Structure 1
Amino acid sequence: MSQPAFDLPSLVAAAGIDALNPMQEAMLAATEEHPHVELLSPTGSGKTLAFLLPLVRTLEKGKKGTQALIVVPSRELALQIEEVYRKLRTGFKVTATYGGHKREIEEQSLTEAPALIVGTPGRIGDHLRRENIKPEGIHTLVLDEFDKSLELGFREELEFIVRSIPSLERRYLTSATRAEEVPDFVGATDLHTLDFLPEDGEAKDALLLQSVTSTEADKLETLFALLCNLGRGPAIIFCNHRESVERTGAFLTEKSISHVWYHGAMEQRDREVALAKFRNGSASFLVTTDLAARGLDIPHIRAIIHYHLPPTEDSFTHRNGRTARMDASGTAILILGPEEKVPAYITAPVEPVEIRTDMGLPEKPKWTTFFVGAGKKDKVNKIDIVGFFAQKGELKSEDIGLIEVKDFFSFVAIRRSKASAVLMAIKDHKLKGRKMKIDIAK
């Protein structure tokens, strides 16, 4: 094997952290001694970086073709991993592949084989069958959240993917639960397991569990009062069904509560707009199904609200994993209807709280999301966007918030008080010499 391109201090610095946590250190050490490693660790503990660092260590300079493959249960998780990987600035090309956009776009990206591919089981399987992905040089396979992939019915595709890779040398598997045995088809003989899950499975000390009682079976008014008591976000409201998400979202719109909603039946573009608004602070609350219980890396979530009781203990665990991440604290709140009780699987103390019904509306977000009709494929980056809004929009640096650059479009948070003036100031200007759509994201 030729010399790998791996410099731990520079990668850690590029990731934006001061030092690795004990779980990440343990994963690095384990992968030096064992070819097949299973990592069990709570959601939000930093598993993505834990497997990316040893994976990067396996990449060989000067070697053509794909060397590593990461399989994930959702497109959002694929995009998140791609983003974290790009921050490492390894010099090795990465391509994300997932359903919800045109396969032809991915085929073009796969023409010059990337060193790393990250994607969902169905789309990766499709590319393998069409021979868009050449598996011969793949030596490292990561099955991230493998238990969720199995739960979602991807067993057949996972088995096909593993069978299609003839020269696997390393297998890294991750999960946030102990619920699923590693299937035989994975071929991970002599699997070394790192278990960083709490022994009793209870919520972390940093997570405060509370309950609020609704006098009506329809809990919408109770939810409204709760949000007014919280006063501000960000918080995630979990419902059990897509229809409930939209009904709850419509109600919050009537009540003038800043929010977005998110579920699996939405168009991919609409999902990306919703998440961008929530991530950058343009929307205070996210109403969603369990689709958002995994794979969304949104820091500093203040509260998780279980509008509907979680159907399973795993669901409860993963929903709560969106808050109290790493060393932060957070609150999980159960809204209990007249006939509902705290589920038996919740053994940690749950504090009943009363909420006032005379509180004013939560404070409005300080940011507005702008849509920019160009992205990475148009050679537009964050520096270009900052320069454009600073010069043409006459904004100071503190008036520009989080920027997300996608393949063909971008999102940028602009201070809400400046939004109207910015629209007027930039309307006749070009970005990188091109006239393109720039407007407030709908």
Structure 2
Amino acid sequence: MQLEAILNKLGISSLNEMQQQVVESYQKDKDFILLSPTGSGKTLAFSLLIIQQLKEIVREVQVLIIVPTRELALQIEQVLRKIAIGHKVTCVYGGHSTRVEKNAFKDAPAIIIGTPGRVKQHIEEGNFDPSNIHTLVLDEFDKSLELGFHHQMDFIIRHAPKIKSRILTSATTMDTIPSFTQIQEPIIIDFLNDAQNIPRITIKKVVAPVQKKLEALLKLICKIGTKKIIIFCNHREAVDHISELLDNRHIIHDIFHGGLEQQDRELALLKFRNHSNNVLITTDLAARGLDIPEVDAIIHYQLPHQEDGFIHRNGRTARMQAKGDVYVILKPDETYPYITDEIAEEEFPEYYELPESSPFATLYINAGRKDKVNKIDIVGFLLNLEGIEKDDIGIIEVKDKSAYVAVRRKLASIIINKANGQKVKGRKVKVGRT
């Protein structure tokens, strides 16, 4: 596929400077290291390199992409499914059905994307043959090291003896590259200190005693209003506590942390992307490697102990040269070495209104790719319902056996009543709220 066609498919007008330099600098069968901040477009950059490496359709695994988190694996899968036309892409990760994944390997995919532990498990069980892999991608490699995946990655690489090209990406500077990667004389592209990639962030502080901290957070959410907000906490208990507060105030939101089922985590991100909610409360699980565009503000309800964590959280906003606001909530005597005294304090009016609900709600349809259903089918299905216009339909995401569609919140119940039991591609479907 030509570059112009790829960009059109992704809804992008042109590559950014980093992506352009990656494409121009890459040499087949040479190791490659890309250092670039979170949110700068690394996924598309290395995906363009991968599709150059793919051979004509062959029944063997050619490319392996190792990532630290499930969410990042799913994000990359979405991109590659759009641009690696004609090549099977399979995603494997902890929390997903091993039986489903094993069945997917019966017809060998050209590209496997997976978390280290799950990829290692499949190799140990002989579920796929890694012996013909020629291209290895270690995406967000610094995060994989931070999470302690050294041994799993070492095992995987030792079982793929024919790798000719290794692509490593990182959002932080790496003093040394571990020997188990087998990277030698790499081409290095470093955009970590590039002025265009430095987020344009305004940082403010909110000072409140511990017993007034939740009240201060609520005031801040109300002042920010209908903009998209991510609230970061250090612990799941804090996430749940804030969620309870917002539930009591009928403020639509979602939560995201490692204690949730994978399906619930994916749905929370999906609804945040498609504007069904404007507030996401999370742990550091959402600090890196997730496709969460257009975040207007970051609130640190609890601050990380290390500055790196602070930087990565902030990287969720002001992406791709946009602007973003960051707020830190501090107790009067609380200090952090990376928070300076010069940071301005946020001021609040005496009276504030609760933010309006998000304009969209997400509906679930029990049909997906495996039923030969695509976005165009779903749009046509909804437009055939009386009183539904194109502007009433928002972002649609189609999964293997289901689809999720954002619709005007005020029309959600009407659409459910009219659509339930109707046919998509000749098949009766169930439609409901998420």
User: Could you say which residue in structure 2 is the equivalent of 1:107?
Assistant: 102
Does 144-153 or 423-432 show the bigger shift? 423-432
Instruction: Measure, in 1, the Cα distance between the counterparts of 2:197 and 2:64.
Output: 32
Does 141-150 or 264-273 show the bigger shift? 264-273
Give the partner amino acid of 2:11: G
**SS state of the match for residue 132, structure 1?**
coil
Task: Check 1:218–1:128 CA distance in 2 against 1; reply closer, same or farther (3 A cut).
Answer: farther
Residue 422 of structure 1 deviates from its aligned partner by 1.2
Task: Check 1:428–1:219 CA distance in 2 against 1; reply closer, same or farther (3 A cut).
Answer: same
1:51 aligns with 2:46: yes
User: Could you say which residue in structure 1 is the equivalent of 2:354?
Assistant: 361
Say if 1:75 and 1:99, in contact at 8 Å, map to a contact too: yes
Task: Check 1:393–1:82 CA distance in 2 against 1; reply closer, same or farther (3 A cut).
Answer: farther
User: Could you say which residue in structure 1 is the equivalent of 2:154?
Assistant: 159
Instruction: Measure, in 1, the Cα distance between the counterparts of 2:199 and 2:263.
Output: 37
Pick one of 269, 275, 278 that aligns with 2:269: 275
Give the partner amino acid of 1:375: G
User: Could you say which residue in structure 2 is the equivalent of 1:97?
Assistant: 92
Give the partner amino acid of 1:83: Q
User: Could you say which residue in structure 2 is the equivalent of 1:422?
Assistant: 415
User: Could you say which residue in structure 2 is the equivalent of 1:431?
Assistant: 424
User: Could you say which residue in structure 2 is the equivalent of 1:302?
Assistant: 296
Q: Deviations over 1:206-264 (max 9, x none)?
A: 11111111133551110000011101121100000111111111111112211110101
Say if 1:209 and 1:349, in contact at 8 Å, map to a contact too: no
Say if 1:203 and 1:348, in contact at 8 Å, map to a contact too: no
1:399 aligns with 2:388: no
User: Could you say which residue in structure 2 is the equivalent of 1:247?
Assistant: 241
Residue 305 of structure 1 deviates from its aligned partner by 0.5
Instruction: Measure, in 2, the Cα distance between the counterparts of 1:184 and 1:172.
Output: 14
Instruction: Measure, in 2, the Cα distance between the counterparts of 1:23 and 1:349.
Output: 33
**SS state of the match for residue 216, structure 2?**
helix
Instruction: Measure, in 1, the Cα distance between the counterparts of 2:412 and 2:20.
Output: 44
Say if 2:207 and 2:329, in contact at 8 Å, map to a contact too: yes
Instruction: Measure, in 2, the Cα distance between the counterparts of 1:173 and 1:333.
Output: 32
Instruction: Measure, in 1, the Cα distance between the counterparts of 2:29 and 2:395.
Output: 39
1:340 aligns with 2:367: no
**SS state of the match for residue 136, structure 1?**
helix
1:373 aligns with 2:335: no
Pick one of 307, 313, 333 that aligns with 1:313: 307
Q: Deviations over 1:312-351 (max 9, x none)?
A: 111111111111000211111111112213x213469633
Instruction: Measure, in 1, the Cα distance between the counterparts of 2:153 and 2:20.
Output: 28
User: Could you say which residue in structure 2 is the equivalent of 1:258?
Assistant: 252
RMSD value, Cα: 2.0
Task: Check 1:348–1:332 CA distance in 2 against 1; reply closer, same or farther (3 A cut).
Answer: farther
Sequence identity of aligned pairs in percent? 47
User: Could you say which residue in structure 2 is the equivalent of 1:85?
Assistant: 80
Give the partner amino acid of 2:102: E
Say if 1:392 and 1:429, in contact at 8 Å, map to a contact too: no
Residue 278 of structure 1 deviates from its aligned partner by 1.2
Say if 1:71 and 1:143, in contact at 8 Å, map to a contact too: yes
Residue 78 of structure 1 deviates from its aligned partner by 0.5
Say if 2:198 and 2:321, in contact at 8 Å, map to a contact too: no
The answer for unaligned runs of 5 or more in structure 2 is none
Say if 1:301 and 1:324, in contact at 8 Å, map to a contact too: yes
**SS state of the match for residue 44, structure 2?**
helix
TM-score, normalisation: structure 2: 0.95
**SS state of the match for residue 148, structure 2?**
coil
Q: Deviations over 1:86-125 (max 9, x none)?
A: 2225321111111112111111111111111111111111
User: Could you say which residue in structure 1 is the equivalent of 2:173?
Assistant: 178
Give the partner amino acid of 2:429: M
User: Could you say which residue in structure 1 is the equivalent of 2:317?
Assistant: 323
Q: How does 1:132-171 map to 2 (within 5 A)?
A: 132-171=127-166
Instruction: Measure, in 2, the Cα distance between the counterparts of 1:309 and 1:147.
Output: 21
Give the partner amino acid of 1:25: Q
Say if 1:393 and 1:426, in contact at 8 Å, map to a contact too: no
TM-score, normalisation: structure 1: 0.94
Residue 394 of structure 1 deviates from its aligned partner by 4.1
Q: Deviations over 1:162-183 (max 9, x none)?
A: 1010100000000111156321
Q: Deviations over 1:297-320 (max 9, x none)?
A: 121110011010122111111111
Give the partner amino acid of 2:411: K
1:204 aligns with 2:198: yes
Instruction: Measure, in 2, the Cα distance between the counterparts of 1:112 and 1:425.
Output: 39
Does 252-261 or 58-67 show the bigger shift? 58-67
Instruction: Measure, in 2, the Cα distance between the counterparts of 1:424 and 1:23.
Output: 48
Say if 1:216 and 1:337, in contact at 8 Å, map to a contact too: yes
Q: How does 1:216-231 map to 2 (within 5 A)?
A: 216-217=210-211, 219-231=213-225
1:351 aligns with 2:344: yes
User: Could you say which residue in structure 1 is the equivalent of 2:121?
Assistant: 126
Task: Check 1:298–1:263 CA distance in 2 against 1; reply closer, same or farther (3 A cut).
Answer: same
Instruction: Measure, in 2, the Cα distance between the counterparts of 1:421 and 1:369.
Output: 13
Q: Deviations over 1:274-305 (max 9, x none)?
A: 12221111111000000011122121110011
- Alignment length, in residue pairs? 434
Give the partner amino acid of 2:351: D
Task: Check 1:332–1:393 CA distance in 2 against 1; reply closer, same or farther (3 A cut).
Answer: farther
The answer for unaligned runs of 5 or more in structure 1 is 1-5
Instruction: Measure, in 2, the Cα distance between the counterparts of 1:25 and 1:45.
Output: 12
